[in-house]
Structure formats: C-alpha cells, structure tokens
Amino acid sequence: MKKQYSIGLDYGTLSVRGVLLDIDTGEEAAVESYEYPHGVLSRCLPDDNKTRIPSEYALAVPQDYLEGLGVVVRNLLKNHGVKPEQIKGIGMDVTSATVIPVDKHGTALSMIPGFESRPHSYIKLWKHHGAKEYAERMEQTAGSRGEDWLSLVGGKISCEMFIPKTLETQEQDPEVYRRCHTFLEVGDWLTWYMTGECTRSASMAGCNSYYRRSVGYPADEYFQAMNPALEPVTRKYKGTFVALGKRAGYLTREAAVIMGLNPGVPVASPMVDSHASVVGAGADQVGDMTAVMGTSACYLMNSHTGEGIPGIYSSVYEAHIPDMFGYEGGQSCVGECLDWYVKNCMPAAYEKAAREEGVNIHTYLQNKVKDIPLKEWKLLALDWWNGVRSPLMRPELTGVITGFTIHTRPEEIYGALLESLCFGARVIIDTFYEAGHPVERLFATGGISGKSPLMMQMLADICGVEIRVCQSRLASARGGAIMGAAVSDRTEQNSRALKDWIHKLGSPVEAVYYPDYQKRDIYEERYRKYRRLTEIFGSAVSGIQEEKG
C-alpha cells in the first residue's frame, strides 16, 4: 500500500514553506521553500521603481505568492518521488493579518492594468504600520461607545490588524476601494484560487477582524460613528465562513494543473501562522501555551473561558484548538532584534573570530555570553525595537539599553538583548497568571527554539517554567498539514475527530529545559529593575508626545 500524505503550506513574510506529512506515521517526509522575488516592498513599488511608498508601509506582490504555491507543491512531489494520487489533503497558514483587495473574479487588484502604481492595491503585510491613525480612531470610538468586543482584544486596537488596514484603503484610495469586490486575508485569497470558492476562515476573522460567530463584525453604527460619510467597510468583507478544521472546498482542475496534483483534493480552511504552530506542536490541553519564536514572537494560550485580558490582543473561540478559546499575546521584535544587532553593530574582529571557529556570529556571541557570570551583568535593556505588542500595545515605543561604559563588550550587549526578550515574554506570562490563566505546559517552536539553547535556558530560568522544544522546525506548516489530514477522509468532520488528528500528528518534543532555581533570586531582582525601566521610559515617551501635541 502506497503511503498517504497531506501538504502543509506556511506563507511567511519572505517565503513560503511546504511540508509533506505522512498521515499515518507523522513523519515530515519532505520540505521545500520558495523565496518571494520581490520580498517586502518598503521603499517603492515594482512599477520600474516609479512609485515611492511611505516608510511605515510593508507591502508584498501577489504574484510571488501564486508562483510560490506552484513551485513548492510541484517540488514536494518531483524531488521526493511522490505521486499526485498520494496527496489526500491540503492545509495552509499565513502571516496575520495579511490583507489583499480583489475583484469579483478573485484577481488581486495590483495585477489588473491601471493599478500597478497604487500602493493600496498590493498585499499589506502584518508589519504594515501605515494604518496607525485608523487604529487609534477605532479604539477611541469603541471606547466612547462602550463596544463590548473591545475588551476581548485587550482594550487596544493594533494597526497591524485587518480592519484598520482596510479603513486606510477606503479613505486614502477611493478608486481602489470602489474597484475592490472584497478584502480578504491572503490565506482566504489563496484558498479561493485553489478551490474556486470565496470563503473566509472563521478563526482568522475572529483573531484579526473582531468577528464573533453569534454576533458578526462590529455593528454598522460603530463604523458610521467614525466617519458618517463612508459606508461601513465590513460591507467589503464577502464570502462564506468556514470553521476551524473544516473543508473550504476541493482543488479545481485549473489549480491542480499549476500545482501538479489531481483535481478534487480537499482543502482545509486556512489558519493564522502562529496559531497553526499550536496545532503543529500538539498543544491540545487547557493551560498549554505555545511560544512561536522567530522574527517576532507569539504566545498562544488554550482556555475553556474567553473573557478579555488587558494587553492580550485576541480571545477567540476555536482560534487554534477545537472546543477551546485561544488567547494571543506577542512581541513585535525578537529574532529581528538580534539580527539587527549583529548586522549593524558588530566589530570586524568578532566576525573574523567567528569565521575562524567555523560558527556563525550568533553562536560565537552566545558562547561568549555563557562565560559571563550572571552576577557581573551590568547592562539592562528593553525589548521595544519595533514597538510593543503585549501588554502595552504601543507601536511607537523604542528600544533602550542602560549601563554602558567605555569597557562594555559586544557580547554583553548581546546578552542584555537576549535577557530583555525573555523578560518581555515573562511580562506576557505574568499577565496570563494575573488573569487566572496559569501556564501548565509551555511548548517552544520556531527557528530560535532550535538554534539558541542559551535563550531557551534563559527563558526557563526567568519565567520559572519548563520549556518543551518541538522537534519540528516547521510547526506552522506541520499544523497546516494536520488540518489537511483532518479533511482528507471526506467523512463527517467534528471536534473529536480533529482533536484526534492533532494528538496523533503533533510534533514530538526534542528537548526540555528546566529552570535553574539557583539563578532565580538574581533574575528576580533584574526583572524588577526591567519592570521599573518600562514604567520610566513608557511614561517618558508619553510625555514627549503630549508636548509635541
């Protein structure tokens, strides 16, 4: 009997990754990836560089995503000797919230002649910060009206969410807005491309657009209170909702040809990338937290209750695990902070030494950090290098390092940055504890969890919890593949069956880091200073803004 596989596709900021998952054994049989040729558009559009874009914009080219779909799936089969008939299901996750305007045929507006030079016709990535004023207006209006859904997103509106980005388009480019048939999450757009059906992932809509199954989107009156002259932007949110783990449709003949598959393969409703990591990690119990640690970091919590927690920006039923509420908090800059430091602040002598030792610069620095006794650490940093998500929800805040002298060494700075990232995670975990949600098990996924044993041990020491590192380096793609497996048998789909698939195919744990309680007192004292530093600099920035205002 031939092996049976599902495909999981993980659409990230710079590339799409695909995993071929054996749905009987859970083995990741193959991995492929495709880097987007245009990467992130942050300076100008690809219209011969004629159109410059504002500094806070982060856009992407839709054609890159479509090309990646065909290349990755075809390579998974071609390079690993798998036949199309062995593929039984497809699942997908995409960075959140990644917004695209399309016409009534599902064509991205930037791909239509005449719209190539309009920034708002392109994909708006999760880190697009051009919609700050709309997020602020949403928050003020919701607060003044006493909108009950505001408490479910921590009392704050992030400019990275779906609705502010669409409000931005509505007001700043009315022509794009008029031509737009619907705004979609890119995951829903790709699902339409594969199945021919315009659907919306209920879990993505709940997490990014404040959609609730029993209520819907925020009321029309709310949007009219913000701008009576414009229609409620949610009228441009079309499509049939599909719940977590359910089938969105079947692969069309046209899409099958492009992907090298047979038509009729079931396609699962897409997920937010970090949420798919919860599924990929097999974190299926109440009290489980999954830390997804890469460029940024997300902390996902399972619970049987769904009340709002200040600073935790989503509380959604079945966000990632069936029959449970999923909470999400996060840090805006983790791996990106460390990469910034080594690329911009590293002496040539250190880079040379790393090459001579045959290690990358991160490993070299971490080895040197290990040699510094904790009692001798002089620097203290704030992890605000790309603003703050949880719990302050303030994108305008910036990074801080204190304690410099003329004797400060590069490894001390690197160590302080690592520590600050762990302190930021501790703040989020403490926020959950204080709200009555203790962390029972903490799973770590993402690139950093496997690459940095030092940071994982530091995280365990600072947070006082065991860290279980998942074996899979592609937990998000694996989670997508598990959802593909869940829709593969074409039988009645229910929560129990989905939980069984998650339990069966969730990633094994490859390492466990236990807290070193001998370091506890030192870290507790440093953590108290970190919290005091957040109060000082958070207030200082607020005061400066008030003076400017």
- C-alpha closest to that of 47 among 114, 116, 113, 111: 116
The strand order across the sheet containing 123-124 reads 59-60, 123-124, 99-102, 182-185
Examine the fold and report which residue of 249, 269, 289 is the final residue of a domain before the chain moves on: 269
What mean pLDDT comes out for the span 118-136?
96
| Same structural domain, 116 and 221 | yes
Residue 158 covered by a domain? yes
Residue 300 covered by a domain? no
- C-alpha closest to that of 422 among 459, 468, 456, 474: 459
Name the H helices within 31-148: 62-78, 132-145
| Cα distance from N-terminal residue to C-terminal residue, the chain | 71
Both structure tokens of 403: 């304690």
Per DSSP, the three-state class of 424 is helix
Both structure tokens of 459: 């995280």
Tokens 């040809």, located at residue:
257
pLDDT of 291 > 60? The answer is yes
What mean pLDDT comes out for the span 404-409?
97
Residue 310 covered by a domain? no
Q: How many domains does the chain have?
A: 2
Residue 257 covered by a domain? yes
Can you name the residues that pair with 300 across neighbouring β-strands?
Answer: 290, 328
Residue 291 covered by a domain? no
**Contact by Cβ (8 Å): 512, 459:** no
- Give the 3-state DSSP-derived string for 206-246, with helices as H, strands as E and coil as C: HHHHCCECCCECCCHHHHHHHCCCCCCHHHHCCCEEECCCC
pLDDT above 90: percentage of residues in the chain: 89
Residue 145 covered by a domain? yes
Q: What is the pLDDT of residue 491?
A: 60
**Contact by Cβ (8 Å): 17, 27:** no
The pLDDT tens digits for 471-494 are: 999 999 999 999 999 999 766 568
Q: What is the pLDDT of residue 544?
A: 46
| Same structural domain, 195 and 344 | no
**Contact by Cβ (8 Å): 186, 100:** yes
| Same structural domain, 237 and 379 | no
| Same structural domain, 246 and 394 | no
Q: How many CB atoms lie within 10 A of CB 262?
A: 14
| Same structural domain, 259 and 364 | no
Q: Please name the amino acid found at residue 457.
A: Q
Residue 446: CATH number of its domain: 3.30.420.40
The pLDDT tens digits for 66-116 are: 999 999 999 999 999 999 999 999 999 999 899 999 999 999 999 999 999
| Same structural domain, 373 and 253 | no
pLDDT of 543 > 70? The answer is no
In this prediction, residue 437 has a pLDDT band, given cuts at 50, 70 and 90, of: very high
Range of the domain at 464: 335-470+515-548
| Same structural domain, 263 and 344 | no
Residue 64 covered by a domain? yes
Supply the mean pLDDT for the chain. 94
**Contact by Cβ (8 Å): 288, 329:** no
**Contact by Cβ (8 Å): 283, 104:** no
**Contact by Cβ (8 Å): 72, 32:** yes
What mean pLDDT comes out for the span 356-385?
97
263-298 exposure pattern, b = at least 16 Cβ within 10 A, e = fewer: eebbbbbbbbbbbbbbbbbbbbeebbbbbbbbbbbb
What mean pLDDT comes out for the span 105-131?
96
CA distance 240 to 261: 25
| Same structural domain, 230 and 377 | no
| pTM greater than 0.85 (yes/no) | yes
Q: Phi first, then psi: what are they for 367, rounded to 5°?
A: -65, -35
Residues 6+ apart with CB under 8 A from 82: 5, 20, 29, 30, 76
Q: How many CB atoms lie within 10 A of CB 54?
A: 10
Q: Phi first, then psi: what are they for 93, rounded to 5°?
A: -135, 155
| Same structural domain, 129 and 204 | yes
| Same structural domain, 252 and 393 | no
Residue 177 covered by a domain? yes
| Same structural domain, 81 and 218 | yes
pLDDT above 70: percentage of residues in the chain: 97
| Same structural domain, 342 and 450 | yes
Examine the fold and report which residue of 231, 247, 269 is the final residue of a domain before the chain moves on: 269
The pLDDT tens digits for 205-257 are: 999 999 998 899 999 999 999 999 999 999 999 999 999 999 999 999 999 99
Examine the fold and report which residue of 269, 295, 311 is the final residue of a domain before the chain moves on: 269
